[in-house]
Amino acid sequence: MHELSLIESMLSIIREEKAKHGMDRILRVRVVNGALSGAVSDALAFGWECLTQEGDLQGVALEITDAPLKVVCGACGKPFEPEDKHYMPCPACGEILGHTVTSGKELYIEEIEADIPEDGEPATGV
Amino acid sequence: MGKTVTIVRNVMEANERRAGKLKDYFAEKGILCLNLMSSPGAGKTSLLERTLADLKGEFKMAVIEGDLQTDNDARRVAATGAQAVQVNTEGGCHLDSSMIEDAIAVLDMDGMDILFIENVGNLVCPAEFNLGEDHKVSLLSVTEGDDKPEKYPLMFHLSSVMLLNKTDLLPYVDFSLEAASAHAKKLNKDIEIFPVACRTGEGLAAWYDWLRSARAAKKQA
């Protein structure tokens, strides 16, 4: 529902990194979106399209990698990948409560592909 | 062919950073901060009206009211004598920590015991934005259906308390307190559940006791 504001935060991070690394033109941005992040990948893609129609990041490609949900059982410690986000019986002991999420909560920018001139001096101390 | 630069930066980092600062501020001042969330019309403002009026001799309390538009809720809360500040998100679906920073700047925080943040009525987005609070508190009314924790899991998963409001209407609706509680416990085995009726005051004593103990725990920390 608030994917547009998430994209706005992403754009400001990207602009910071662009300046920091002396990037000329950004070609592609890769984002990792976990199954439990609350952000819907399709809505992120749509928000990105809307907010990069013009301006300095016009036409930059957004690539979204969906990170699967992985948990460790709260009772027996078995790691497993639940099929359902809300009801997660452990395949080994059947416990449904108290699991620790090891993957799936994340939403982060993993990498940026850009033209960086040879003399593009990375700024320091940012 | 461009070069690839590895970044790995959390998209929510700006909010998380500010929320961390707010948490430090509340810790330093010993203020218990509660983030109150529910769907629109579940009774957040009614709960606050009751709580502020009933406990005003015990605690210094203030409210940050989040709504898309109007200052109706801030006026209702201010009528109890408590300080209230209205934040209008102008269409935004949640409060974020920069809005809390701005709101605190206009409140008199000296000697404050409990700060309530009444989030925008919405069962989805508010849960994803930390505001530096000690606890998230969710409110569900019996007219909404007992499967809401199952349908909107994140909020109930993250909440320390779930209040089930409007229990005075239970004879007229198909709502099972047991089913709603079981759904919430499945998501969060430690969640404390208090059935209340803000209109009649029934059940509020248990909520007040929880507030007292949370406040005492914060003061000791």
* CATH number, domain with residue B73: 3.40.50.300
Mean pLDDT of A90-96: 93
For residue A22, is it within any domain? Answer: yes
Q: What is the pLDDT, as a whole number, of residue B1?
A: 66
Q: How confident is the model at residue A126 (pLDDT cuts 50, 70, 90)?
A: very low
Helix, strand, or coil (residue B62): strand
For residue B73, is it within any domain? Answer: yes
Residue A19 or residue A84, greater confidence: A19
Domain range for B88 is 14-216
Q: Please say whether the beta carbons of B185 and B162 come within 8 A.
A: no
In this model, does residue A124 exceed pLDDT 70? no
Q: A89 exposed, middle or buried (CB, 10 Å; 0-12, 13-18, 19+)? A: middle
For residue A88, is it within any domain? Answer: yes
Q: Which residues neighbour B101 within 8 Å (Cβ) at sequence distance 6 or greater?
A: B18, B21, B22
Q: How confident is the model at residue A125 (pLDDT cuts 50, 70, 90)?
A: very low
For residue B9, is it within any domain? Answer: no
In this model, does residue A21 exceed pLDDT 60? yes
C-beta atoms of A38 and B128 within 8 A: yes
For residue A74, is it within any domain? Answer: yes
Residue A11 or residue A122, greater confidence: A11
Task: Kindly state whether A105 is in contact with chain B, defined as any CB-CB distance less than 8 angstroms.
Answer: no
For residue B132, is it within any domain? Answer: yes
Quote the number of domains for chain A: 1
Provide the ipTM: 0.82
Query: Chain A contacts of B127, Cβ < 8 Å?
Result: 38
Mean pLDDT of A104-113: 95
For residue A123, is it within any domain? Answer: no
In this model, does residue A109 exceed pLDDT 70? yes
For residue A120, is it within any domain? Answer: no
For residue B3, is it within any domain? Answer: no
Q: What is the pLDDT, as a whole number, of residue B10?
A: 94
Helix, strand, or coil (residue B161): strand
For residue A80, is it within any domain? Answer: yes
Stated as kind and residue range, the H or E segment containing B213 is helix B204-220
Query: Chain B contacts of A21, Cβ < 8 Å?
Result: 5
How many CB atoms within 10 Å of residue A66? 13
CATH at residue A92? 3.30.2320.80
Cα(A46)–Cα(A54) distance, rounded to whole angstroms?
14
Q: What is the DSSP string of B94-147?
A: S--HHHHHHHHHHS--TT--EEEEE--S-SSGGGGS--S-SEEEEEEETTS-TT
For residue A126, is it within any domain? Answer: no
Quote the number of domains for chain B: 1
Query: Chain B contacts of A87, Cβ < 8 Å?
Result: 186
Q: What is the pLDDT, as a whole number, of residue A120?
A: 57
Domain range for A48 is 3-115
Share the mean pLDDT of chain A.
90
Q: How confident is the model at residue A121 (pLDDT cuts 50, 70, 90)?
A: low
C-beta atoms of A87 and B93 within 8 A: no
C-beta atoms of A10 and B13 within 8 A: no
Query: Chain A contacts of B8, Cβ < 8 Å?
Result: 108-111
C-beta atoms of B7 and A12 within 8 A: no
**Tens of pLDDT, residues A40-75:** 999 999 999 999 999 999 999 999 999 999 999 989
| Per-residue pLDDT tens digits of chain B, which is 221 residues long | 689 999 999 999 989 999 999 999 999 999 999 999 999 999 999 999 999 999 999 999 999 999 999 999 999 999 999 999 999 988 888 999 999 999 999 999 999 999 999 999 999 889 989 999 999 999 999 999 999 998 898 899 999 999 999 999 999 999 999 999 999 998 888 999 999 999 999 999 999 999 999 999 998 87
